[in-house]
Structure 1
Amino acid sequence: MMQQVYPQVFHPYAYELNKDIHFAAAHYVPSEEAGKCRYVHGHTYFANITIAGDLLDSSGFLVNFADLKQWIHARFDHQQLNHDAAFSDEDPNRFPTTEVVARTVYEIVQSHLDQMSNRPKCVQVYLRETPTSYVVYRPKGMV
C-alpha cells in the first residue's frame, strides 16, 4: 500500500479512524461535455475514509475496519459504476464522476454508521481517481 498524506479535517471528536480502500471499477460520464470520459473506461480508485466519534462500541472499536472494507470494496470492486443503483445516467448530480462517487461513498458509510449504538460520523472521504486527480468530500455542518 502506498503511503499517502491526506488533507486533515478538523472536528470536535476524541477519536479519529482512517481506512484506506482501493477498488477497480469502470464508468462513463453520460455528458457530451465530459469529452473522452463519456466513453466506458476504468480506474483503480484509492479512497481514504475518515470517521470520528467519542464512544467506542462493545468491541472497543469506533468502527471495525473490516466492516468499512465490506461496505465499499465489496460493492464497487470490479463493477461498472453506471450499473449501480446509486448512480444515474439522467441526473447530473448522480453521474458517476469522482465528486459523486466520493459523496456516494460517504452516504453509504454514514447510513451504516447511523445504525450503530456509538453513533460515529463520517467526516471526510478522499477519493483518488488517477495519480494526479482526486476529490475530497466533507459533509456540510461538521464543524
Structure 2
Amino acid sequence: MIQQMYPAPMHSYRYELNKDFQFAAAHYVPHEDAGACRRLHGHTYFANVTVVGNDLNESGFLVNFQDIKNLIHKRFDHTVLNEDSLFNEMDPNHFPTTEVVARKFWEVIQESLNKLPNAPRCVQVFLRETPTSYVIFRPQEEDFQ
C-alpha cells in the first residue's frame, strides 16, 4: 500500500478523488545533457492522480478509481516509454522525462474525462520516479479548452 501525502492543488469543487498506483517502465532521455539518463534504464514509478468535480455520475462516482488506473497502468506498465506514440526523440517537449511523462499522463486522463457527462477534471498528476525525485503537473485553465 502506498501511504504518503501529496501537495494538494487549490480548487473549489465539491469532490476530490485521488488515485495512487505504481507501474514499472524503462526509458532514456535522448539528449546529450541527460548524462547517465541517456542510457536505457528503468524505474518503479509511483503516481497520484487528482480528479475534481461538482457532480457524480449515474453510479454515484465522480469517476471510477479503476478507470483512472487503467488509463495509465494498462498502457505503460512494463514498457519502454520511448516506444509509445506519445513520445518522440525530435522535440524536448516529447522526450520521456518525468516532467513530460506527468504532462502526457494528464493529457491521456483528461481526454478520457472529457467524454463524461458529469465533467470531472484532472487537476494534478504527481509522479515519483525515485524515492527522492518527483514531479507535479498541474494544468492551467487554458489546458482544459
TM-score, scaled relative to structure 2: 0.96
SS of structure 1 residue aligned to 2:6:
coil
Matched residue, 1:34: 34
Task: Tell me which residue corresponds to 1:13.
Answer: 13
The residue identity in structure 1 corresponding to 2:105 is V
Deviation at 1:12, TM superposition (A): 1.3
SS in 2 for 1:18: strand
**Hey, what's the Cα distance between the residues in 2 that align with 1:67 and 1:79?**
20
| Overall identity of the aligned pairs, in % | 62
Runs of 5+ in structure 2 lacking a partner? none
Equivalent residues in 2 for 1:3-82 (5 A)? 3-82=3-82
Question: How far, CA to CA, are the matches of 2:134 and 2:70 in structure 1?
Answer: 22
Deviation (angstroms), 1:67: 0.6
Structure 1 position 93 matched with structure 2 position 93: yes
SS of the equivalent of 2:25 reads: strand
Query: How far is the alpha carbon of 1:2 from its aligned partner?
Result: 2.7
Superposed displacement of residue 129, structure 1: 0.1
Within 5 A, what are the aligned runs for 1:103-118?
Answer: 103-118=103-118
Q: Structure 1 CA distance, aligned partners of 2:80 and 2:87?
A: 10
Question: 1:68-124 CA deviation, whole Å, 9 max, x = no partner?
Answer: 111010000000000000001111000000000000110000000000000100000
Letter of the 2:98 counterpart: T
1:140 offset after TM fit, Å? Answer: 1.0
CA distance in 2, matches of 1:20, 1:2: 7
Give the unaligned 5+ runs of structure 1: none
Q: Distance in 1 between matches of 2:111 and 2:2?
A: 28
Rounded to whole Å, the distance in 2 between the matches of 1:90 and 1:30 is 9
